[in-house]
């Protein structure tokens, strides 16, 4: 008899709030929305609140929109958290001739932002979402009034991100939830087991035989529909050049634990290209700042966006 694990993506907000000491007055207003980005493809997003979205949150490779749940609860502001193509509930994308991976993702994301949050005060991109946000800001500056890069610059390469790449390219399936949990905890030693359990339920699927597989696509090439693996890193001069064209205010949020993929050289290069950019260092965070220090990150985002957390 296979034990099935029940899953309701909106059932864990009270647990998020309790773990991080966030006041909780009942379930927040959150709905899942699908946006057509082509005649055959849709991107999915979580829309928080009833008012016009003030922030757009874009996750990293091998993650999904729920990685921002605690940040969104701490902010208490209307916002949109997008599932990148090939992640979460979103269809994959296709790269066009002459496009970089980040540009291909940004092309689809622009449709979602334009439909759901055209007047957002800030776009926040973590890791792969940060590279996507750079491409978005360069191509559609009307949609990016302020930009936050969470632990990413175009200078991040395969060597710096090796631990992440090895994790993403690990086993395709796991015999049990507990084995998947154990591997995830090993990769994220600073996170609590409860937060890891929630993350897996949002980011993995139980198969008919009781085994588990990740929800995101594992292929290394966009032509095959995959957006993890090598797509997590685009360190070309092209991305640095795109970053240098951005006129919107830019904030780099940098984790300072060993799990971070941004080093002093990356920070210096960003500031040389954008002297007006700000850098905020999060001492107790690694690569996933939204997971390690979500309340502190929310406060920083609110200040940069010019909104008051409620």
Q: Which residues are catalytic?
A: 127, 151, 287
248, 125 contact by CB (below 8 A): no
> For every residue of 86-110, which 3-state class applies, written as one string?
CCCCCCCCCCCCCCCHHHHHHHHHH
Q: Are strands 122-126 and 79-82 parallel, antiparallel or unpaired?
A: unpaired
Taking alpha carbons only, the member of 270, 298, 303, 266 closest to residue 282 is 298
222 phi and psi, to 5 degrees? -65, -30
125-163: burial string, b at 16+ Cβ within 10 Å, e else: bbbbbbbbbbbbbbbbeebbebbbbbbbbbbbeeebbee
* Residue that the structure tokens 């634990």 belong to: 257
């Amino acid at each position: 008899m296979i034990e099935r694990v029940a899953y309701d993506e909106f059932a864990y907000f009270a647990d998020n709030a309790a773990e991080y000491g966030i006041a909780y007055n009942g379930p927040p207003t959150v709905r899942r929305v699908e946006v057509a980005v082509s005649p055959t493809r849709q991107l999915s997003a979580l829309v928080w609140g009833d008012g016009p979205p003030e922030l757009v949150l874009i996750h990293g490779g091998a993650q999904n929109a729920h990685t921002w749940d605690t940040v969104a609860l701490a902010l208490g502001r209307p916002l949109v958290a997008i599932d990148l193509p090939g992640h979460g509930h979103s269809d994959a994308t296709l790269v066009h001739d002459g496009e970089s991976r980040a540009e291909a993702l940004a092309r689809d994301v622009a449709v979602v932002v334009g439909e759901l949050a055209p007047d957002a005060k800030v776009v926040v991109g973590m890791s792969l979402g940060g590279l996507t946000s750079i491409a978005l800001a360069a191509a559609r500056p009307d949609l990016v009034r302020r930009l936050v890069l969470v632990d990413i610059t175009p200078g991040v390469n395969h060597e710096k991100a090796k631990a992440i790449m090895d994790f993403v390219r690990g086993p395709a399936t796991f015999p049990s939830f507990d084995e998947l949990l154990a591997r995830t905890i090993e990769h994220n030693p600073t996170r609590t087991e409860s937060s890891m359990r929630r993350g897996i339920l949002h980011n993995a699927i139980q198969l008919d035989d009781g085994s588990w597989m990740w929800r995101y696509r594992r292929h290394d090439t966009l032509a095959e529909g995959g957006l993890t693996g090598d797509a997590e890193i685009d360190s070309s001069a092209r991305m640095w050049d795109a970053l240098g064209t951005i006129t919107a205010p830019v904030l780099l949020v940098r984790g300072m634990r060993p799990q971070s993929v941004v080093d002093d050289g990356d920070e210096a290069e960003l500031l040389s290209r954008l002297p007006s950019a700000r850098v905020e260092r999060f001492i107790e965070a690694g690569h996933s700042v939204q997971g390690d220090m979500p309340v502190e990150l929310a406060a920083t985002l609110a200040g940069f966006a010019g909104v008051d957390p409620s």
